[in-house]
C-alpha cells in the first residue's frame, strides 16, 4: 500500500492511494468466509456452499466494499499522522477512474482524493479602543414615559358601565336561521369605540350598560359600509367577505376606558415598588430610561468590537474544495462511496451537449445561488475558526450543562413573553427536549460560543465615552439592528 500527497494549493492537497492485491486480498478472503458461514442457498446446508460459487456470486461486491473501507480508513489515518487539519472528509477527485480496466481480483487500483485544509490562525493581543455612546434622556423622554405609565396604571381602565369615549368589547355570534354560505361570519370578539358606532340607536342602547348586556346588530350598524373596517373588526381572513346586513347576537364582554393615573405616591409605588416624592420619581424614571439605552449602547459597542476583531484575520480558505463540499452536501451525495461518485459524474458527462437552453439557464441560476450561499458560508466559517482559536487560547470549554442553562434562558424568555410563569413548568425537561433537535442545539451552541468570545474581548479593549442625544444614537443603531424593509 502506498499513499502520496500533492499540494494543489497551500490549503488543498491531493492524496493518491495505490492498492495492490496483497493489500486487499486478506480482507476479501475474510469477507468471503463470513458470507459462506451465514449465507443460505437452496440445495446446500448452512456453511457448506462451495467456495467457488460464493466467490462467483459475491466476490466483486465484497472486493469493492473492502477496498472502500481500506481507502477510507487509511486515508484518514494518513492525514492525521501527517498533522493535516482538514475540513469534513476527503472528496474523490472528479473524473478520476479507479477501475479503468474493470474491477477484478488480482489487479492494482489507484484512488485519488482531495482534502481541504484549515488555515492556521495565530491570534495577536486585541488592544483596541472604541467609542461607547452614552445617550442622555431629557425632559421630553421622561415625560413621554411617565405618560405611558399613567395610561397603563389607570385604575378606571375597566369600568362597570359604558360612557361616551369608551371602547366596548362585543362577543358576537351569527344569529340562527341565516344563509351563511360563502360568508366569513363566525363567533368572536370585536372591539369598537362607542362614539364611532354608525347606528345611533345601537349607540344609545349601549350607553350606560355594563358587562353582560345583550342584543342584536349587523356589521353595518357598527361600521357602515366600510369593508376594511368590517374585515378588521370581524377578523376576516384574506379573500373572505361578510354581508354588512347579516345579523349577529352580541354580548358586552368588557369595557375599556382611557385615562391617566394621578401623579401621587400610590402611582409612584406601583411603578417602582417604593414610596417616593415626585422629584425622586422623575430621577428614577430618567435612570430607568438610561439603563435601557445603555444596554443598546453596549450591544452596538460589542457588535463593532467583534467586526473589528474579525477584520484582523482575513484568512484564505480552500475555496474550490469547500464549494464542491457544499454542492455535494446539497445534492445528498455520499462522500464515503467513491464509486457512486465516479459513476454519477461519468453518467452526466455523456449528456452535456444535449442540454437545452432552458437547462443552461437553470444551471446558471443554480451556480449563482451556490455562489451567494458559499460567500455567506465562507464568511461564517472564517469567524468560527477565529472564535475557536480564541476560546482554545483562553481554555474556555462549552459543556453540556452550559448548553442546558442557555436553552433554559431562551425558553424562560419565550414563556415569559406569553405571560407564563417559569415556576409553573419544568424548565430543565423542556431544555433537554429542545436540545434534542439538532438545529436547536447548533443555534444554542453557536450563540453561547459567540458570547463567550465577546466577553473575553470586552475585557481587553478600552472605551471612550461619547455623550449624545438619543435620536442621533438610535439612527446609528438602526443602521445595524433595525429590520430591513
Residue 7's DSSP bridge partners are: 13
CATH code: domain of residue 95: 3.30.70.1050
Residue 260 DSSP one-character state = -
Q: Could you tell me if residue 244 is inside a domain? A: yes
Pairing, β 2-9 against β 109-116: unpaired
The distance from CA 75 to its chain's CA centroid, rounded to whole angstroms, is 35
- Domain shared by 170 and 97, yes or no: no
Cell, residue 68: 472502500
129 within domain boundaries = no
**Phi then psi for 164, rounded to 5 degrees?**
-55, 140
Residue 468 belongs to a domain: no
pLDDT confidence tier of residue 355, bands split at 50, 70 and 90 = very low
- Characterize the bridge pairing of strands 91-92 and 214-217: unpaired
What pLDDT is attached to residue 349? 31
Q: Are residues 111 and 205 in the same domain?
A: no
Q: Of 264-268, 300-304, 351-355, which range is least confident?
A: 351-355
Which pairing describes strands 462-468 and 129-135: parallel, antiparallel, or unpaired?
parallel
91 and 178 part of one domain: no
- Find all residues with CB under 8 Å of 153, minimum gap 6, and list them: 261, 267, 270, 271
What's residue 330's pLDDT?
A: 62
- What are all long-range contacts of 32-41, with beta carbons under 8 Å and residues at least 24 apart? 32/58, 32/59, 32/62, 35/62
Is 34 within the bounds of a domain? yes
Phi, psi dihedral angles at 377 (to 5 degrees) = -60, -45
Cβ-based neighbours of 360, under 8 Å, separated by 6 or more: none
In sequence order, which ranges of 48-174 are alpha helices (DSSP H)? 51-81, 139-152
Residue 10 resides in a domain: yes
Where is the domain boundary, 241, 256, 271?
256
70 and 163 housed in the same domain: no
**CA 348 to centroid of chain Cα atoms:** 35
- Domain termination residue (choose one: 86, 101, 116): 116
Which one is predicted more confidently, 339 or 259?
259
d(C-alpha 47, C-alpha 396), whole Å: 56
Distance CA 325, CA 9 (A): 17
Pick the last residue of a domain from 186, 221, 256.
Answer: 256
Q: Domain check: are 9 and 111 in the same one?
A: yes
Is 142 inside any structural domain? no
Domain count, the chain: 2
User: Please, which residues bridge with residue 18 across strands?
Assistant: 2, 110
Asked whether the CA dihedral 212, 217, 220, 221 is positive or negative, the reply is: negative
CA 425 – CA 412 distance, rounded (Å): 10
CA distance 447 to 402: 11
Mean pLDDT over each residue of the chain, to the nearest integer: 86
Neighbouring C-alpha atoms within 13 Å toward the C-beta of 80: 8
Whichever domain contains 245, its CATH number is 3.10.50
Reply yes or no on whether the pLDDT at 393 is more than 70: yes
DSSP 195: G
Among candidate residues 307, 309, 326, the one with its CA nearest the CA of residue 317: 326
Percentage of the chain beyond pLDDT 70 is 90
Segments forming the whole domain that contains residue 60 = 2-116
- 82 falls within a domain: yes
The pTM of the full predicted model, rounded to 2 decimals, is 0.69
Question: What are the φ and ψ backbone dihedral angles of 234, each rounded to 5 degrees?
Answer: -105, 10
Q: Is residue 112 located within the same domain as residue 172?
A: no
Give the confidence band of 40 by pLDDT, cuts at 50, 70, 90: confident
- Residue pair 257/165 in contact by the 8 Å Cβ criterion: yes
Q: Look at strands 462-468 and 188-193 and give their pairing.
A: unpaired
* Other residues' Cβ atoms within 10 Å of the Cβ of residue 109: 21
pLDDT attached to residue 233: 92
> pLDDT tens digits, residue range 231-244?
999 989 888 888 89
Picking from 247, 248, 260, 256, the residue whose alpha carbon sits closest to that of residue 194 is 256
Q: Look up cell 344609545; give the residue.
A: 204
How does DSSP assign 94-119, residue by residue? TT--S-TT---TT--EEEEEEEEBPP
More confident of the two residues 345 and 271: 271
Q: In this structure, is residue 377 part of a structural domain?
A: no
Express the helix, strand and coil content of the chain in percent, nearest 5 each.
Answer: 55, 15, 30
**24 and 92, same domain (yes or no):** yes
Predicted pLDDT of residue 168: 96
pLDDT at 171: 96
| pLDDT per position as a tens digit, 186-230 | 889 999 999 999 999 999 999 999 999 999 999 999 999 999 999
Give which of 72, 71, 12 is closest to 322, Cα–Cα.
Answer: 12
Question: Do residues 210 and 109 both lie within one domain?
Answer: no
Sheet holding 12-19, edge to edge: 2-9, 12-19, 109-116, 91-92
More confident of the two residues 170 and 359: 170
Do 70 and 169 fall into the same domain?
Answer: no
Amino acid at each position: 500500500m502506498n499513499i502520496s500527497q500533492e499540494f494543489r494549493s497551500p490549503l488543498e492537497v491531493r492524496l493518491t492511494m495505490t492498492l495492490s492485491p496483497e493489500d486487499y486480498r486478506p480482507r476479501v478472503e475474510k469477507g468471503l468466509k463470513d458470507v459462506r458461514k451465514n449465507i443460505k442457498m437452496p440445495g446446500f446446508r448452512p456453511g457448506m456452499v462451495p467456495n467457488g460459487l460464493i466467490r462467483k456470486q459475491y466476490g466483486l461486491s465484497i472486493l469493492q466494499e473492502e477496498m472502500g473501507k481500506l481507502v477510507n480508513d487509511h486515508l484518514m489515518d494518513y492525514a492525521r499522522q501527517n498533522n493535516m487539519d482538514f475540513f469534513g472528509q476527503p472528496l474523490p477527485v472528479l473524473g478520476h477512474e479507479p477501475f479503468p480496466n474493470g474491477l477484478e481480483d488480482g489487479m492494482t487500483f489507484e484512488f485519488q482524493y482531495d482534502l481541504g485544509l484549515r488555515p492556521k490562525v495565530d491570534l495577536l493581543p486585541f488592544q483596541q479602543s472604541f467609542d461607547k455612546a452614552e445617550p442622555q434622556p431629557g425632559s421630553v423622554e421622561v415625560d413621554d414615559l411617565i405618560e405611558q405609565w399613567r395610561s397603563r396604571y389607570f385604575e378606571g381602565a375597566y369600568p362597570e358601565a359604558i360612557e361616551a369615549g369608551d371602547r366596548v368589547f362585543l362577543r358576537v355570534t351569527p344569529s340562527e336561521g341565516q344563509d351563511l354560505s360563502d360568508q366569513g361570519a363566525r363567533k368572536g370578539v370585536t372591539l369598537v369605540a362607542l362614539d364611532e358606532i354608525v347606528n345611533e340607536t345601537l349607540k344609545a342602547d349601549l350607553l350606560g350598560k355594563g358587562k353582560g348586556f345583550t342584543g342584536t346588530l349587523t356589521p353595518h350598524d357598527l361600521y357602515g359600509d366600510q369593508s376594511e373596517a368590517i374585515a378588521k373588526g370581524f377578523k376576516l381572513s384574506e379573500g373572505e367577505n361578510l354581508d354588512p346586513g347579516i345579523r349577529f347576537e352580541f354580548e358586552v364582554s368588557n369595557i375599556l376606558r382611557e385615562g391617566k393615573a394621578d401623579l401621587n405616591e400610590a402611582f409612584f409605588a406601583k411603578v417602582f415598588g417604593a414610596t417616593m416624592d415626585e422629584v425622586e420619581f422623575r430621577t428614577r424614571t430618567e435612570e430607568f430610561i438610561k439603563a435601557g439605552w445603555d444596554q443598546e449602547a453596549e450591544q452596538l459597542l460589542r457588535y463593532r468590537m467583534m467586526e473589528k476583531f474579525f477584520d484582523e484575520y482575513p484568512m484564505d480558505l480552500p475555496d474550490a474544495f469547500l464549494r464542491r463540499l457544499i454542492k455535494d452536501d446539497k445534492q445528498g451525495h455520499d462522500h464515503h462511496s467513491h464509486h457512486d461518485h465516479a459513476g454519477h459524474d461519468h453518467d452526466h458527462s455523456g449528456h452535456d451537449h444535449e442540454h437545452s437552453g432552458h437547462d443552461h439557464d437553470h444551471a446558471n441560476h443554480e451556480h449563482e445561488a451556490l455562489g451567494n450561499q458559499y460567500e455567506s458560508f465562507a464568511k461564517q466559517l472564517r469567524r468560527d475558526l477565529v472564535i475557536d482559536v480564541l476560546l482554545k487560547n483562553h481554555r474556555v470549554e462549552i459543556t453540556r450543562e452550559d448548553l442546558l442553562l442557555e436553552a433554559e434562558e431562551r425558553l424562560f424568555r419565550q414563556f415569559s413573553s406569553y405571560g407564563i410563569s417559569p415556576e409553573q413548568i419544568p424548565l430543565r425537561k423542556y431544555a433537554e427536549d429542545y436540545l434534542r433537535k439538532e438545529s436547536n442545539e447548533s443555534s444554542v451552541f453557536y450563540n453561547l460560543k459567540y458570547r463567550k468570545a465577546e466577553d473575553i474581548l470586552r475585557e481587553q479593549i478600552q472605551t471612550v465615552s461619547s455623550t449624545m442625544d438619543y435620536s442621533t444614537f438610535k439612527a446609528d443603531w438602526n443602521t445595524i439592528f433595525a429590520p430591513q424593509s
